[in-house]
Structure 1
């Protein structure tokens, strides 16, 4: 399922127009992104948590030349599913 399919499913389940459902889906993703940019968590009870994880700098290798290269520190978004989502998928 892609973002368009998700918006269509939301429209079908709620009776919203497809354009309104698409805007709602876009807004949810934008809010999650903005919160993670601030370094804060997004907790959705029964679904899961979106968090920002720090990735330390490390040394890697250039796959073409084999020479060592420095990989700089970065942040990455992670999702940890909640109990409700785990139970729904496994049940």
Structure 2
């Protein structure tokens, strides 16, 4: 499911124009990004948390040049689903199969 599919589904279920839903969805994404950039996690009860995970500094390798490269400590965004979300997915009966690099229902 893509963003356009989500917007269409919400519009169909609520009767709200697609443009308004798209604006709200984009505003949500922007707020999540802004909060994480500022170091503050976002908690959505019953859905999950958008958090930062700390990656330790390490030594990597540039294989082409055969040179060691120092990768500094950094943060990456992550999503931690809520318990209810995990249970709902575990209870799902759909089988997912890789198709052109994407997971799809079969």
* Alignment TM-score, normalising by the size of structure 2: 0.78
- For residues 7-32 of structure 1, give each alpha carbon's deviation from its aligned partner in whole angstroms, at most 9, with x where no partner exists: 11221121111111111111111111
Say which structure is richer in strand: 2
> Counterparts of 1:63 and 1:6 in 2: how far apart (Å)?
41
Equivalent pairs counted in the alignment come to 91
Q: CA RMSD in A?
A: 1.2
Partner secondary structure for residue 61 of structure 1: strand
Question: Is residue 8–residue 22 contact of structure 1 (8 Å, CA) maintained in 2?
Answer: no
* Alignment TM-score, normalising by the size of structure 1: 0.90
Matched with 1:46 is 46
Deviates more, 1:75-84 or 1:50-59: 50-59
Unaligned runs of 5+ in 1: none
Q: Which has the higher contact order (CA 8 A, sep 6+)?
A: 1
* Offset of residue 34 of structure 1: 1.1
Matched with 1:60 is 60
> Counterparts of 1:70 and 1:60 in 2: how far apart (Å)?
6
